[in-house]
Amino acid sequence: MNIKREFVLREIAGDLLLVPTGKTALDLNGMLTLNDVGADIWKMLPEVKDEEEIVQRLLKDYEATADEIRPDVSAFLGKLRELGIL
């Protein structure tokens, strides 16, 4: 999946932050914080082709069912699309 904007993922004092770089810093004046699952999804975005692949990958690492995971993944990706990031 294609990330349209430039970010650097940073871990600071136990928080995971997406810091905008390049022109993204102009468009998005702020920073995004992620939880652990959000950070895992973020790291796999360039390697996956669709939402379902993310769900399948998360199933290997988290004790939850696909039906439990799917709505959260969907909501997270929806938020990224809303911000023009994905």
Partner 1 sequence: MLEPRISKYLHDKATKQNIPINGTLELTARCNFNCPMCYVHLSAEEQKRRGRELTGEEWIDIAEQAKKAGTVFLLLTGGEPTVHPDFVKIYERLSEMGFYMSMNSNGRLLEGDLLELFKRKPPERLNITLYAIDNDGYRKQCGVPAYDQVVRNIRALREAGIFVRVNLTITPANQEEMAELVAKGKELGAVILGTTYIWPQIRVNEAAVGASFRPSAEEAGRAMAVYDSLRMPHEDFLIRARQLAAGIPQKSPSAEDCAIGMPMLCRAGRATYWIDWQGNMTACALMPIPSVSVLSGGFNEAWQQLHRDISEIRLPPECASCEYRRICNPCAAKCYTETGSFHQKPDYVCRYTMSFLEAMREAVEQEQNG
- Between 17 and 86, CB nearer to partner 1: 17
| DSSP β-ladder status, 7-12 and 32-34 | unpaired
- Cβ within 8 Å of residue 8, ≥6 positions away: 18, 19, 21
CA distance 58 to 23: 31
- Between 1 and 19, CB nearer to partner 1: 19
- Rg of the chain over Cα atoms, rounded to whole angstroms, equals 13
28 touches partner 1 (CB under 8 A): no
Binding mask 31-70 for partner 1 (x = CB under 8 A): x-x-------------------------------------
Task: State the first-to-last Cα distance of the chain, in angstroms, to the nearest integer.
Answer: 8
Q: Whose structure tokens read 């959260």?
A: 72
Q: Which stretch binds partner 1 (CB under 8 A): 29-37, 38-46, 48-56, 77-85?
A: 29-37
Residues lying near partner 1 in the complex (CB under 8 A): 7-10, 12-15, 17, 19, 21-23, 25-26, 29-31, 33
